[in-house]
Amino acid sequence: MAEAVAEQAEIGVIGGSGFYSFLDDVTEIAVETPYGPPSDSLFLGEIAGRRVAFLPRHGRKHHLPPHRINYRANLWALRSLGVRQVLGPCAVGGLRPEYGPGTLLVPDQMVDRTKSRTQTYYDGEQLPDGATPNVVHVSLADPYCPTGRGAALKAAHERDWEAVDGGTLVVIEGPRFSTRAESVWHRAQGWAVVGMTGHPEAVLARELELCYTSMTLVTDLDAGAETGEGVSHEEVLEVFAANVGRLRDVLFDAVGRLPATADRNCLCTGALAGMDPGIELP
């Protein structure tokens, strides 16, 4: 189903090149999937004695907008290398005044407000090799891995970054930012942060029985939570650049805290229990 590769990894990180570009020994691997090409090559390196595969979510040149990312290929490619736990750092807007720029929030819930994204592997559509997946329904009541969330929060605490434990990430289609009315409505629902890439990453990871943890960095107060002209692309990039080193340190510490693949014991590992997906997972 996927191109055979000699290199393997146990942990995946979906994020930008700033997370791996400084490593001394990085191997670049192109991976083919039944769902087309992932966003870019996968970059393999070692952190805290763990083999990690990095995948630039938007491509290394940031040429893919959120609604055009091949999320299915990205998660499939990671699993084909042996990855079973995924950390997904992303930039978000804060929906509450107390969640200002520089806040690290590890969400425990998600709301999907996207419109046109393929969000399942199990749609009955025949794959290029002739296999046809069955229609199955996985539970997503708790969309994020509790073990991964704990590792991320402990890593932040050790770095003196008091991350917000829990909150709802609402995912919008993009690539535009919210209108002020949309932002006010999101906040009125009690949601914490808003982003464009958390869905369908979490859903597809669960369908592959991968542990998935979102780590959201607030880069701005979303339009309804502030006065003035609202959020700009330049503002987001500036705040993210100012915090990427700190986020990278926490991310790498979290990698070291994740359990060995054989020791995973969480809700993610049995997502397909009792179901027949109809296709062989890599």
What average pLDDT score do residues 236-241 get?
73
Annotated catalytic residue: which of 40, 112, 129, 222?
Answer: 222
Does residue 222 carry a catalytic annotation? yes
Give the SS3 label for residue 236: helix
Residue boundaries of the structural domains of the chain: 11-270
Question: For residue 220, what pLDDT is reported?
Answer: 87
Give the SS3 label for residue 197: coil
Annotated catalytic residue: which of 112, 220, 253, 263?
Answer: 220
Q: Is 261 exposed, middle or buried (0-12, 13-18, 19+ CB in 10 A)?
A: middle
Instruction: Give 221's pLDDT tier (boundaries 50, 70, 90).
Output: confident
> What average pLDDT does the chain have?
91
Question: For residue 3, what pLDDT is reported?
Answer: 45
Residues 6+ apart with CB under 8 A from 164: 99, 103, 104, 105, 106, 192
**Cis preceding linkage at 200, omega within 30:** yes
Question: For residue 14, what pLDDT is reported?
Answer: 97
**Does the pTM exceed 0.75?**
yes
Decide which of 129 and 241 is more confident. 129
How far is it between the farthest Cα atoms of the chain?
55
**pLDDT exceeding 90 applies to what percent of the chain?**
80
d(CA 138, CA 246): 35
Question: For residue 17, what pLDDT is reported?
Answer: 67
Token readout for 199 is: 């869905």
What average pLDDT score do residues 204-209 get?
98
Does residue 220 carry a catalytic annotation? yes
Residue type, 43: F
| CATH number for the domain whose boundaries are 11-270 | 3.40.50.1580
DSSP 229: T
Decide which of 3 and 85 is more confident. 85
Instruction: Give 4's pLDDT tier (boundaries 50, 70, 90).
Output: very low
